[in-house]
Amino acid sequence: MPTSSSLAAEARGLAKAAKAAEQAGNIEKARSLYLKAADKFNQASSLNPDKLDKNTQHGLAKHFYEHGRSLGKQPASIGGSSQALDEPLLSKDELIISEKPDIGFSDIGGLDSVKEEMKKAIIYPFTHKKLYDYYNQKPGGGVLLYGPPGCGKTMIAKAAATECDADFINVETSIIMSKWVGESEKSIKQVFSVARECNRAIVFFDEFDAVAGRRGEIEDYAKRIVNELLQQMDGMDKNDNILVLAATNEPWAIDPALRRPGRFKKLIFIPPPDLEARKAIFNIYLRKLPLKNDVDAGALSNKTEMYSGADIKAICDDAAEIPLQEALEGNEARKITPDDFSTVLSNRRSSIIPWQRLAVEQVRKSGEEDIFKEIIDLEK
């Protein structure tokens, strides 16, 4: 069985040979080698357990694939193929989600205080700009949402964009990482220059840990991304109507320099849903299902402590699946019963608990118990 690293080594060899062939003007050979390198990087990526590494390999695969393909299209005589690499990496249209994400605060169960905090951090600086100016408060800067997986960080970010009148630039970290590694920092620069052209913009980095790791622990090209992010955030002035929003399940992995004043000055914890919130989330998803009268959101929320919103949605989907399957096998289509939910619950574990174990350990290890107090407090 080839391993991720043996495949990556092979891929690097092929890429090197491809480049040599290209420089020697042997375009046909270069093209074929680039495509082979891309294929190997893809295989390496699919086997790699390390997330950052995986993204990088995937990015390289994509780069070599595109570059190889572009060689086929160009007449070999003019201009050299490096031209493709000098073009802007991402176009404005690619970056700005002009249609608002169709998700509002009302689609999110619980998290009332987070919604209020988001209004203060993200929405009021735009809607009450004069007041902020009057008190000489710089509206920009960043907000980092962190917490267990599946509890609504991405949802909250998208809903915030809907609730305020700003362009929403959803920076998919996979796009940043999938560009030629030597140029990843260029795409960060571009994101911010596009944001400056907007009247108001929210720049959103989901899975932020993938692009903003601690510089002591990551590779050189990734350090350049973090440095570029720092420069961009420090370079913002109060005429830049830009708010930076980021979300991560692994806040301890983010470079601490990004948390200094003027940068991500606000950290917002998105907690596991409490009893009340679980009930609200159950209600959101149960509403759409044919239920026996005795299916009760209150009882279900009592049985799902430390389950995430995503877990709850999955529980509802799985419960519906039972009578659906029966009906597909020829039985009468019946309503969903409390027993269906019991069956599902006995098979499904919380996805928060494994995260919590890791999170507490990592926060202790980094000595940042004060900063991520909410994570430590989960154990109580």
Ligand X SMILES: Nc1ncnc2c1ncn2[C@@H]1O[C@H](COP(=O)(O)OP(=O)(O)O)[C@@H](O)[C@H]1O
- Location of structure tokens 């004043």: 261
The verdict on 151 binding ligand X (CB under 6 A) reads yes
Cβ proximity to ligand X, 281 vs 359, nearer residue: 281
Amino acid found at 264: F
Per-residue contact flags (x/-) with ligand X for residues 260 to 289, judged by CB under 6 A: ----------x--x-------x--x-----
Nearest-approach distance from CB 159 to Mg ion, in angstroms = 13
Cβ proximity to Mg ion, 48 vs 154, nearer residue: 154
Task: Report residue 167: phi and psi, to 5°.
Answer: -70, 145
CA distance linking residue 126 with residue 120, whole number of Å: 10
Options 14, 44, 48, 109; binder of ligand X; rule CB under 6 A: 109
- Which one-letter DSSP state was computed for residue 119? I
Options 310, 322, 324, 360; binder of ligand X; rule CB under 6 A: 310
Nearest-approach distance from CB 208 to ligand X, in angstroms = 11
Helix or strand run (H / E) with residue 372:
none
In sequence order, the 6+-apart residues with CB closer than 8 A to the CB of 73 are none
| Residue 379: alpha-carbon gap to chain centroid | 26
Pair of tokens at residue 78: 């003019």
- Residues from 147 through 206 that contact Mg ion (CB under 5 A): 153-154
Cβ contact 319:340 at 8 Å: yes
The verdict on 152 binding ligand X (CB under 6 A) reads yes
Cβ proximity to ligand X, 174 vs 227, nearer residue: 174
- Residues from 96 through 155 that contact Mg ion (CB under 5 A): 153-154
Task: Please give the C-alpha separations between residue 359 and each of 72, 162, 207, 317, 368, in angstroms, as whole numbers.
Answer: 48, 31, 15, 28, 11
Cβ proximity to ligand X, 14 vs 280, nearer residue: 280
Strand partners, 37: none
Pair of tokens at residue 318: 């799985």
Nearest-approach distance from CB 117 to ligand X, in angstroms = 15
Options 309, 319, 344, 359; binder of ligand X; rule CB under 6 A: 309
Of 277, 278, 355, residue with least CA distance to 315? 278
Pair of tokens at residue 267: 């950290």
Nearest-approach distance from CB 240 to ligand X, in angstroms = 26
Q: What dihedral angle (degrees, nearest 10) is formed by the CA atoms of 246, 250, 253, 255?
A: 20
> From the list ligand X, Mg ion, none, which binds 101 (C-beta under 5 to 8 Å, kind-based)?
none
Cβ contact 264:244 at 8 Å: yes
- How many other C-beta atoms lie within 10 A of the C-beta of residue 202? 26
Segment lying near ligand X (by CB under 6 A), choices 61-69, 150-158, 180-188, 343-351: 150-158
Nearest-approach distance from CB 367 to ligand X, in angstroms = 25
Cβ proximity to Mg ion, 30 vs 281, nearer residue: 281
Nearest-approach distance from CB 187 to ligand X, in angstroms = 22
- Residues from 231 through 250 that contact ligand X (CB under 6 A): 247
- Residues from 312 through 371 that contact ligand X (CB under 6 A): 313
Nearest-approach distance from CB 67 to Mg ion, in angstroms = 31
Pair of tokens at residue 54: 């995986």
CA distance linking residue 2 with residue 104, whole number of Å: 46
Amino acid found at 311: D
Cβ proximity to ligand X, 68 vs 273, nearer residue: 273
Segment lying near ligand X (by CB under 6 A), choices 143-151, 174-182, 215-223, 230-238: 143-151
Segment lying near ligand X (by CB under 6 A), choices 152-160, 219-227, 234-242, 355-363: 152-160
Task: Report residue 324: phi and psi, to 5°.
Answer: -60, -50
Per-residue contact flags (x/-) with ligand X for residues 178 to 217, judged by CB under 6 A: ----------------------------------------
Please tell me the number of Cα atoms within 13 Å of 148 on its side-chain side.
25
> From the list Mg ion, ligand X, none, which binds 281 (C-beta under 5 to 8 Å, kind-based)?
ligand X
| Residues contributing to the site for ligand X (CB under 6 A) | 108-111, 149-155, 247, 270, 273, 281, 284, 309-310, 313
| Residues contributing to the site for Mg ion (CB under 5 A) | 153-154
